[in-house]
Amino acid sequence: MYCTNRTILFCLLLLVNSFLIQSQNKSTVYWQPDVSVNYQVSAFYSHNFSVTNRNYLLKDQRTKLSVRQIDLAHFSKVNIDFNKSVGLGVQYRFREAFEESKENELRFTEQFNTTHKIRSIRLGNRFRTEQRITPSSTIHRFRYRFAVDFPLKGLKLDVGEPYLIATTESLLSVGKSLNPMYDQRITSQIGWSLPKGMKLQVGIQYRLENYTQNTEQVFFFLNSLILAL
């Protein structure tokens, strides 16, 4: 599988243009940068620390740039086979400081992940359960994500070369005095492998939230810097 840098740029511009056209009549558009650090303790055990900042770009048909929230997260993963892993995570969301009517959130995550490789293409299945705890409520969320990633040059990823990640994820949220909420997320990102194990990723995410009741369509511009220790 081979793709030139010019082709990659052209495809990315098409995605961005389509994103902007579709979002003109939608209520919310976000810009979400994040930085994460991966620390490999052993061949079977690793940590991930991340900081994520979510910002409004378009809300209620008005353009604006303002902070919505900041998330601090830690995740631990244990490999139980060459292609299977389990993990536990904790996250704290700072929301009150940016929107007085909102609440901060403590979140716990449990995960099971499997991967399968077909030549240069890697397929992944991720199952997650979450407990989202705020002062006023506790929401239990169940998530399934299917992912595919592959290098855009050759059969293996070398330093300086690009790769593509595409995912689709289904979510169910339930809680006391809360009608079940169903969400769907579709994400496409292009990344580059950098020296010293670093990676840079940019992409777009589309969310269809609460689509069985009061449907809301949400768009994200994503960019990530991933460091390895």
Q: What is the pLDDT of residues 123-147, one digit of tens each?
A: 999 999 999 999 999 999 999 999 9
Classify residue 207 as exposed, middle or buried by CB count within 10 Å of its CB (0-12, 13-18, 19+): buried
Q: How far apart are the first and last CA of the chain?
A: 30
Tell me the C-alpha distance between 163 and 226, whole Å.
14
Q: Let me know if domain 5-228 sits in CATH 2.40.160.40.
A: yes
- The reported pLDDT for the residue numbered 23 is 47
pLDDT of residue 7: 55
DSSP 195: G
Is 204 within 8 Å of 197 (Cβ atoms)? no
Provide the pLDDT for residue 1: 46
Q: What CA–CA distance (Å, rounded) separates 180 from 94?
A: 25
Residue 225 has what pLDDT? 98
- The two three-digit tokens of residue 105, written as one number: 């959130």
Which tokens hold the place of 162?
A: 């690009």
| C-alpha span between 6 and 4 (Å, rounded) | 5
Residue ranges of domains in the chain: 5-228
pLDDT at site 202: 97
Closest listed residue to residue 46, CA positions, set 75, 26, 21, 25 = 75
Model pTM score: 0.88
pLDDT in tens, the chain (229 residues): 445 555 555 555 555 555 555 545 557 999 999 999 999 999 899 999 999 999 999 988 888 899 999 999 999 999 999 899 999 999 999 999 999 899 999 999 999 999 999 999 999 999 999 999 999 999 999 999 999 999 998 888 888 899 999 999 999 999 998 899 999 999 999 999 999 889 999 999 999 999 998 889 999 999 999 999 8
Say which amino acid occupies 187. Answer: T
